[in-house]
Chains A and B, each alone.
Chain A
Amino acid sequence: MELINNDDGTWTLSKVSELEHLMLSRLPESADSTGCEEAGNRLFPSPISPEADFDNEKKSSADSDWKEYIEPELRVEFRDSLKIVADDLGKAQMAKDEEVNCYEFNIPTAHADYWCSALNQARIVIHYRYNLPDEDGVLDMDPNPEKWMATLQSEIYGMLMEFLIKKVLWVA
């Protein structure tokens, strides 16, 4: 996978292997926290610190206001990012890299933040849904193939996030 600057306000993600493309195509559904309470709690946490010296009534009121007014805004932001990324992904085209099938597609610079949001949402949900280990870069051959694939998926998303942060967003 390579991220190339087209110098026209877009980047091309090229040499995307079939496996990487498969993982990326799962991004929108992987970011859905439905059915995973821990992931939902992590994506939409209480605004009040768990260690705060704050009485229960005040905390409950703050949480309730947050759920009513802020959480819906967060949900819209998260959903919009996923939709933009799904649209970009839908434009992926087949290509060849040394006779091996691969994919490539454009990411407008203006979409880089949406991509990071979508990739990060998915990484959070995957982590809690599959109870992945906390250590970075652990890709042990887990006896559970589904969990091993989830780890690989999260690593690929993390790698693409690093590309986008270092090459696109850090200098913007």
Chain B
Amino acid sequence: MLIEESNVEIETSPVAEVEVLDQVTQPWQVMILNDPVNLMSFVTLILRRIFGYSEEKATDLMLKVHSEGSAIVWTGEREKAELYVQQLQTHQLYAVMEPID
């Protein structure tokens, strides 16, 4: 594929274009992994604060982390996912993210 711009012809690969588009549009999920130290009340408090979740929803997610080993707490674009992971890690929660296929 050729792109004409100011008399300069740039050749781009369709594969590269798809990859870039995927990186922009691909949703990511933020997860909290269980750890043996964090207090349940602390995890619930931080989920309420960062995501604005109700006490009931935050408690449900905390219990899912505790019983199943992890819980997806948010899904969306990568940049925002990174921000949430940073905020959660600032409170020493074991937060990670991954792209959704």
Contact = CB atoms under 8 A, between A and B. Distances in A.
Contacts of B99: 52-54
Contacts of B42: 116, 120, 161, 165
Nearest to B86: A70
B11 interface: no
A51 B45 contact: no
Does more than half of chain A's interface fall in helix, strand or loop, or is it mixed?
helix
B76 to A, nearest CB: 15
Interface string B60-101: 000000000000000000000010011001111011111101
Contacts of A170: 41, 45
B10 interface: no
Contacts, number: 73
Contacts of B82: 47
A74 B88 CA distance: 11
A120 B94 CA distance: 12
A40 interface: no
Contacts of B37: 120, 123-124, 127
B97 A47 contact: yes
B39 interface: yes
A27 B38 CA distance: 17
Interface string A40-67: 0011111111111110000000000000
Given A42-B94, A53-B98, A54-B98, A47 B85 contact: yes
Contacts of B90: 74, 77
Contact of B91 (A46, A49, A117, A127): A117
Interface range on chain A (Cβ under 8 Å from partner): 20 to 34
Contacts of B101: 53
Interface string B29-40: 001010111110
Contact of A169 (B36, B45, B89, B95): B45
A48 B101 CA distance: 15
A158 interface: yes
A18 interface: no
Of the candidates A48, A49, A162, the one having the most CB atoms from chain B within 10 angstroms of its own CB is: A49
A121 interface: yes
B94 A45 contact: yes
- 10 tightest CB-CB pairs across the interface, nearest first? A52-B98, A134-B36, A49-B98, A49-B96, A165-B41, A120-B92, A47-B85, A127-B37, A124-B37, A123-B37
Interface of A: 42-54, 70, 73-74, 77, 116-117, 120-121, 123-124, 127, 132, 134-135, 158, 161-162, 165-166, 169-170
